[in-house]
Structure 1
Amino acid sequence: MKAARKMNIGFWIPKKDQCNLCAAYAFGNCEEEEYVTHLRRKEEARAEKTKDKRSCEDDSTVLVVCMDLQVVLLAPSLLANASYFKTKLCCHNFTLYDLARHDVSCYFWDETRGDVSSNCFASCICDFISNVIASQAVDTVILYSDGCGYQNRNVTLSNSLLHLAMTKQLTIYQKFLEKGHTFMEVDSVHSAIERKLRGRQIYWPADYIEVMESARTTKAPYVVKNLDYSFFKDFSGLKYYRSIRPGNSVGEPQVTYIRALLYTADGQISYKLHLSDSWSPLPRRPNRGGAAPLTQLYTQLRPIKLTKFRDLQQLKHVIPREYHEFYNSLPHQ
């Protein structure tokens, strides 16, 4: 270390977002009891994930997956300063990572093909699980994610996972990491993609697919699924449970209190408010006739706002001509 200091050499410390509650406690703006409870939940979640990771490595019938949505990707993404104050096409990459086999699937779509609603995420998750169990003997699925409501912790996704558990005879667990401490293996996928994007100009959404497919060099390449609007299913017709709230009255636990959900082939959903708790059934009667045929969520491309369409048209002069037709053909209001 002394030699390093003499040579003016330092170690780069990677940037890491701080947990809001931990930062508040450091400045004396958080009660000791709340902070201690927060740390206990963090350690419980980490220990639970480590235990499940070992179980899937030892037992091939157990599938453990972590999943997350990458930050919004914009198309085009250019070096030309003409693009700085223009709205662009939003692209989404929802990634699922198999912890035992290290297989990665990236579900990619732009805003004309889908939004970021619970139906879109449920479509991706159910498709991933269905593809895995079609080729492997799996009877237990464990999903790890953050607790984002519209993405991971909502009645639409719960009904879709219960439907999958019943039709495929699976046991499915959903477990949520503590807010502010949600680092997972899937985050390394997004980091690899971001490194590959450095200095790279993106002229249209398909350029992102090329980057994703070449981002991993040490293991099997990431599987990238370029989704069309017809891929997404509408799960709102599934009415097994009308709510996944563990309480019924004012002052009783809210959905955000849930730390784990269990879906069984007999059509039941159970929950935990702490990962160390025993399973408790949701306090409401499931609807045995809650199944309905799944329909497509969209019947056509989704139009973008006219202001965004005009901004994209104005950017064509700094984009190669072969991409102009794509932007000309975008549906708009």
Structure 2
Amino acid sequence: MDDAIDNTKSYPDYVPSADTSFSQSNFLVAANEEMTAIDSTPTSQNETQTQPSTSAPQQEETQQTQPSTSTSAHQQEETQQTQPSTSTSAPQQEETQQTQPSTCTSAPQQEETSQIQPSTSTPRQKETLQTKTKFKKRQRNPNQWERNVKKRKVNRGEEYTTKGGNIKPARKTGPDCRYRLKCFDRVNETQRGIILKAFNDLENAQLQDAYLRSCVNSIPPKRSRPRNGVKSTGKGSREWTYEYCVKPETIKVKICFKAFMSLHGIGLTRAKRVRTPGIALPLPDQRGRHGNHICISNEIRDKVMAHIDSFPKRESHYSRQNNFNRRYLDERLNVKRMWLLYLQQNEPIQRILYRSDKKSMKPIVKYKYYLHIFNNFFNLTFGRPRSDTCLSCDKYDILVKAEDDIDKKKRIQEQRDLHQMRANSGYQTLNWYAQKSKTDDTLEVYTFDFQQNLPAPSLTAGDMFYLRMLWTYNFGLHDAKTEDGIMHLWSEAEAGRRSSEVCSCLRETLLKRHETHRADHLILFSDGCAGQNKNKAMMNFLFELAKDGVYKSIQHIFLFRGHTFLPNDRDFSHIEKRKKVEKVRRPTDWKGIVKDSRLSQPFEVSFLDHKNFFDYKALADANLKTPFKCSDGESLMFKEVMWFSHGESQEMSELMDAEIWKPHSEEVWCRYTHNRMEPWKKLNPIKRIKKNQCAPKLAKKYAKPIGIKAARKKDLLSLATKNLVDEETKAFYELLPVRQDRQTTESDEDEDDYLN
């Protein structure tokens, strides 16, 4: 994750003054003090990890708009990068054209992608984030506001409650006018109901006023009676007289003024307003339409914006691709806590009143105004991922911030942009194959990874933080076609978590699911951990799996280090959420918890012991010859390989100028990038079997459980003396074997040798 602090302004033209700046060094101290001061539920807006883009991998003839200010062209593909001017506005909607390939296991075909980067916005313009993922920040919904709901009820003539709590009855036809024209006799009861219903169905006050105005005809008075020969111009004089009519069916019916109000259920004020002569439409309601409102000055608004902008912000390592303007605040903050910190700095008396008597508070900047500024002028959220940090991204960001020379800074930015583009190609390859597998029955796509170790016991007592726990390993696979999660659990006392354990879990899952799916092509995605995934034991396992004909072709693709967000991480998040509310005493308790952690599509869970694991490392040592040499005589840079291919692979034919399938059952092909156009590196790593020599066979890795260290067992047994575990759990801990030798196991130190 790119956790470099970024204090760049989130809006275009604002520059805080010296007297409004907020100390960044002590804001966390103030935030911690607020933890106990705030007795109401804080308004928090949390951002989950944005997943990588789901577009197909970009291979060649790609036009990309990079956020840096210069161009670079040092990549194996033909890439044109058009650099835009720097902007802080939210990204506009991308226009992407993609051409998908027809083959099932080849990398995506050539595509021409045009990405339009954000243009400069007007100052303090509300940012609109248009992404392919669902918008996480809560949006304004004026239709559900209480005052707008009440307004609609008033227009529809329904019963509603006023702001003071008084209940107003529904609109209904008024009393008979008892006029000499006998208006209610000319409009029967059924017609009166039709008139009122049609009036209520308009649901808009302006449309209703327009309808009422159409029922009124303004004409000059036919006769006037001057007083003493002078025409009166006083209050009681009339320049116009009005005729009222309704049209219940096809013929207009003339009615009086009282009947006009009764039939429509309106009052005298509204009836007089809509009959204003000399205009086609009635005057709109002028209540509240004036400039004498209580306003907050621009100076205070700038002070609020300066306060929000004073908090340290970071970029998200995973969401940068879809939303690179989004910044992340400390997860201990929320909008209400930030508002209280603002009051503490600028309106301390109101902050004191918040703790003592909230009803007497009358701050200049209310919480709703602070929230309005936060949501409409900033692209911020709270919390950020803290795992899988990319060292290269961190290094480039530090160098960019520390470099003063413009030319050197541009070169560093170009290197950073190239690194991020190459890293994103792994995500794009993964997403493309995942979507392809949903429509292709001959293709299976899996991702696999280890979850963070699960402790046993998992209790809430304070002493637990100082004792060594018994760890439970969880190796998870994710089926991209069905979205199934397959979990393999085992205790650290039974086995380790290196290459042999990974291959054993893969073997059990792939052979079992292949019996029902019967796919021809297998694609695996993982990180490049040397001790678990990228090593000769894994290469030999997949080589033998393809050679035995289980799959025609097997591809093993690695993501860039630090850019390894996999679907397994979403699966593990369900377990982590459930882990917070469960109490575990023994490793076997995790099986039920993991299985029930996702109710919509429960995980497939198996609990393993030492008998389930095979020694694939020893088999690889017997089968493979090292160091690895390619067919062109070059040494294979094993650490740099991003793609292994076994069985069959697609290769460009010089005669046909097209890709054709080529079997290579005795060779392993590999690439250093995710680019489909890169030529394969070919090597034959298999040792020749001499005469009278038996082929090596796969054997069990463990004859008995490997055990745990004595200090760990001592800590576990100490829980019984504190009555933190029951007698049955105590007996289980007493039976745990103790490791006598000094050999370092996987629970103490991860392996870091690519040839193991």
Instruction: Report the TM-score, using the length of structure 1 for normalisation.
Output: 0.91
Aligned partners of 2:611 and 2:369: how far apart in 1?
Answer: 59
Residues 187-206 of structure 1: pairs in structure 2 closer than 5 A = 187-206=569-588
Asked if the contact 1:258/1:273 (under 8 Å) is kept, the reply is yes
Asked if the contact 1:246/1:255 (under 8 Å) is kept, the reply is no
Secondary structure in 1 matching 2:399: coil
1:279 and 2:683 matched? no
What is the letter of the counterpart of residue 512 of structure 2? N
1:16 and 2:385 matched? yes
Which residue of structure 2 lines up, in the alignment, with residue 186 of structure 1?
A: 568
Asked if the contact 2:671/2:680 (under 8 Å) is kept, the reply is yes
Residue from 667, 682, 692 that aligns with 1:268: 667
1:258 and 2:641 matched? yes
Shift of 1:278: 2.6
Which residue of structure 1 lines up, in the alignment, with residue 273 of structure 2?
A: none
Q: 1:140 to 1:74 in 2, by over 3 A?
A: same
Shift of 1:279: 2.0
What is the letter of the counterpart of residue 637 of structure 2? Q
Q: 1:314 to 1:189 in 2, by over 3 A?
A: same
Q: 1:40 to 1:247 in 2, by over 3 A?
A: farther
Residue from 110, 118, 122 that aligns with 2:499: 118
Aligned length: 329
Asked if the contact 1:155/1:244 (under 8 Å) is kept, the reply is no
| Range moving further from structure 2, 35-44 or 137-146 | 35-44
1:94 and 2:475 matched? yes
Secondary structure in 1 matching 2:382: coil
Q: Deviations over 1:73-117 (max 9, x none)?
A: 111122112222211112100100000111111010111111012
Shift of 1:193: 0.2
Shift of 1:173: 0.5
Shift of 1:176: 0.6
Which residue of structure 1 lines up, in the alignment, with residue 525 of structure 2?
A: 144
Residue from 445, 459, 466 that aligns with 1:64: 445
Aligned partners of 1:46 and 1:154: how far apart in 2?
Answer: 22
Q: Deviations over 1:154-193 (max 9, x none)?
A: 0011101111111134211100111111111111111000
Aligned partners of 1:247 and 1:16: how far apart in 2?
Answer: 40
Shift of 1:122: 0.8
Q: 1:243 to 1:133 in 2, by over 3 A?
A: farther
| Range moving further from structure 2, 23-32 or 171-180 | 23-32
Which residue of structure 2 lines up, in the alignment, with residue 322 of structure 1?
A: 728
Which residue of structure 1 lines up, in the alignment, with residue 737 of structure 2?
A: 331
Which residue of structure 1 lines up, in the alignment, with residue 709 of structure 2?
A: 305
Residue from 507, 531, 544 that aligns with 1:163: 544
Aligned partners of 1:186 and 1:270: how far apart in 2?
Answer: 27
Asked if the contact 2:434/2:480 (under 8 Å) is kept, the reply is yes
Aligned partners of 1:207 and 1:253: how far apart in 2?
Answer: 45
Q: 1:267 to 1:253 in 2, by over 3 A?
A: closer
What is the letter of the counterpart of residue 197 of structure 1? K
Which residue of structure 2 lines up, in the alignment, with residue 218 of structure 1?
A: 600
The higher relative CO (CA closer than 8 Å, separation ≥ 6) is in 1
Gaps (5+ residues) in structure 2? 1-138, 143-334, 336-366, 375-379, 401-408, 649-664, 741-756
Shift of 1:247: 6.8
| Range moving further from structure 2, 76-85 or 267-276 | 76-85
Aligned partners of 2:627 and 2:590: how far apart in 1?
Answer: 36
| Range moving further from structure 2, 284-293 or 62-71 | 284-293
Asked if the contact 1:234/1:296 (under 8 Å) is kept, the reply is yes
Secondary structure in 2 matching 1:286: coil
**RMSD of aligned Cα (Å):** 2.5
Shift of 1:267: 3.1
Residue from 368, 372, 390 that aligns with 1:6: 368
Aligned partners of 2:441 and 2:685: how far apart in 1?
Answer: 34
Asked if the contact 1:70/1:92 (under 8 Å) is kept, the reply is yes
What is the letter of the counterpart of residue 471 of structure 2? C
Q: Which has the larger radius of gyration?
A: 2
Residue from 399, 402, 409 that aligns with 1:28: 399
Aligned partners of 1:165 and 1:58: how far apart in 2?
Answer: 23
Shift of 1:23: 2.3
Secondary structure in 2 matching 1:83: helix
What is the letter of the counterpart of residue 613 of structure 2? F
Secondary structure in 2 matching 1:114: coil
1:232 and 2:232 matched? no
Higher helix share: 1
Q: 1:293 to 1:233 in 2, by over 3 A?
A: same
Residue from 508, 513, 516 that aligns with 1:127: 508
Aligned partners of 1:271 and 1:253: how far apart in 2?
Answer: 9
Shift of 1:7: 6.9
What is the letter of the counterpart of residue 6 of structure 1? K
What is the letter of the counterpart of residue 137 of structure 1? R
Instruction: Report the TM-score, using the length of structure 2 for normalisation.
Output: 0.41
Q: Deviations over 1:2-33 (max 9, x none)?
A: 99961766885342134322222222269345
What is the letter of the counterpart of residue 703 of structure 2? T
Aligned partners of 2:614 and 2:435: how far apart in 1?
Answer: 33
Q: 1:24 to 1:293 in 2, by over 3 A?
A: same
Aligned partners of 2:394 and 2:619: how far apart in 1?
Answer: 42
Give identity over the alignment, percent: 24
Secondary structure in 2 matching 1:262: strand
Secondary structure in 1 matching 2:605: strand
Shift of 1:243: 4.2
Q: Deviations over 1:14-53 (max 9, x none)?
A: 4213432222222226934542331121121122112211
Residue from 74, 78, 82 that aligns with 2:459: 78
| Range moving further from structure 2, 51-60 or 88-97 | 51-60
Aligned partners of 1:36 and 1:63: how far apart in 2?
Answer: 32
What is the letter of the counterpart of residue 384 of structure 2? K
Aligned partners of 1:269 and 1:291: how far apart in 2?
Answer: 19
Shift of 1:245: 4.8
Aligned partners of 2:413 and 2:627: how far apart in 1?
Answer: 31
Asked if the contact 2:554/2:646 (under 8 Å) is kept, the reply is yes
Secondary structure in 2 matching 1:6: helix
1:241 and 2:624 matched? yes
| Range moving further from structure 2, 302-311 or 238-247 | 238-247
1:292 and 2:696 matched? yes
What is the letter of the counterpart of residue 568 of structure 2? V
Secondary structure in 2 matching 1:331: coil
Q: 1:199 to 1:22 in 2, by over 3 A?
A: same
Aligned partners of 2:628 and 2:436: how far apart in 1?
Answer: 29
Secondary structure in 2 matching 1:172: strand
Q: 1:56 to 1:206 in 2, by over 3 A?
A: same
Shift of 1:321: 2.3
Asked if the contact 1:64/1:98 (under 8 Å) is kept, the reply is yes
Secondary structure in 2 matching 1:15: coil
